[in-house]
Amino acid sequence: QKEVEQNSGPLSVPEGAIASLNCTYSDRGSQSFFWYRQYSGKSPELIMFIYSNGDKEDGRFTAQLNKASQYVSLLIRDSQPSDSATYLCAGGRALTFGSGTRLQVQP
Amino acid sequence: NAGVTQTPKFQVLKTGQSMTLQCAQDMNHNSMYWYRQDPGMGLRLIYYSASEGTTDKGEVPNGYNVSRLNKREFSLRLESAAPSQTSVYFCASSERGYTSGDRPYEQYFGPGTRLTVT
Contacts of A42 (CB under 8 A, 6+ apart): B111, B112
Mean pLDDT for the stretch of residues A63-90 = 95
Q: Tell me how close the Cα of A80 comes to any Cα of chain B, in angstroms.
A: 24
pLDDT of amino acid B100: 55
Which of B34, B44, B98 to probe the A interface (max A CBs under 10 A)? Answer: B98
Which of B25, B32, B35, B43 to probe the A interface (max A CBs under 10 A)? Answer: B43
pLDDT of amino acid B6: 98
Question: Do B55 and B77 touch, CB atoms closer than 8 A?
Answer: no
A102 strand-pairing partners = A86
Q: Tell me how close the Cα of A67 comes to any Cα of chain B, in angstroms.
A: 16
Digit-coded pLDDT (tens) for B80-108: 999 999 999 999 999 877 655 556 788 89
Alpha carbon A102 to its chain centroid, in Å, reads 10
Digit-coded pLDDT (tens) for B4-62: 999 999 999 999 999 999 999 999 999 999 999 998 778 999 999 988 989 999 989 99
Mean pLDDT for the stretch of residues A83-102 = 89
* Residue among B40, B42, B104 whose CB faces A97 most closely: B42
* Residue among B40, B107, B111 whose CB faces A99 most closely: B40
Collect all residues of chain B within an 8 Å Cβ-Cβ radius of residue A42.
Answer: 111-112
pLDDT of amino acid B98: 63
Instruction: Between A13 and B99, name the one with better pLDDT.
Output: A13
pLDDT of amino acid A32: 86
Instruction: Between B66 and B104, name the one with better pLDDT.
Output: B66
Strands of chain A, DSSP E: 4-6, 11-14, 19-25, 33-38, 45-50, 54-58, 61-66, 71-76, 85-91, 96-97, 101-106
